[in-house]
Amino acid sequence: MIAIGLVWALGCAGADGDSPDTAAQAPSLGLDLQPLFDRSCVGSCHDATSRSGGLVLTADGAYAALVRAPSTQVPALLRVAPGDPESSYLVNKIEGTHASAGGEGTTMPPGFVLSTAEVALVRAWIQAGAAG
């Protein structure tokens, strides 16, 4: 009976031991976040020309500019700390909590607020390890 239960448990898990849809749930920078960056950030402030805050969020620059990169406003915080949205300055900027983290300026993107789903997407990407 124990052997049958073990076989069933292993069969319900993915080959790597995670649930079968864990990989499918992790947002991708290129597929999920880049369209958000392109629409909300790149055209106005964070392209290769304007480089506001030294931050370029184009498809070829977003990962290097964000992941494990110190924030220019609060250098003690990484822009994106993989696995830790609470310690990621990007989350502070899009949620409007940047002043309490020692930052300055306005909530990003300026002029409008990201939807709850968009903020959740950014948080989920960071929580899942902020893979490229």
Average pLDDT of adjacent 10-residue blocks, the chain of 132 residues? 38 44 77 95 89 92 97 96 98 97 94 94 98 92
**Residue 109: strand, helix, or coil:** coil
The residue behind tokens 């409007």 is: 96
| Number of domain units in the chain | 1
- Side chain identity at 50, as an amino acid letter? S
In a domain, 16, yes or no: no
In a domain, 7, yes or no: no
pLDDT the model gives residue 4: 38
pLDDT the model gives residue 11: 39
In a domain, 103, yes or no: yes
In a domain, 12, yes or no: no
d(Cα 15, Cα 30) in Å, to the nearest integer?
25
pTM (2 decimals)? 0.80
Domain range enclosing 94 = 22-127
Length of the chain: 132
Query: Residues 10, 14, 20, 26: is their CA dihedral positive or negative?
Result: positive
pLDDT the model gives residue 43: 84
| Vertex 104 angle, CA 132 and 124, to 5° | 30
In a domain, 8, yes or no: no
In a domain, 118, yes or no: yes
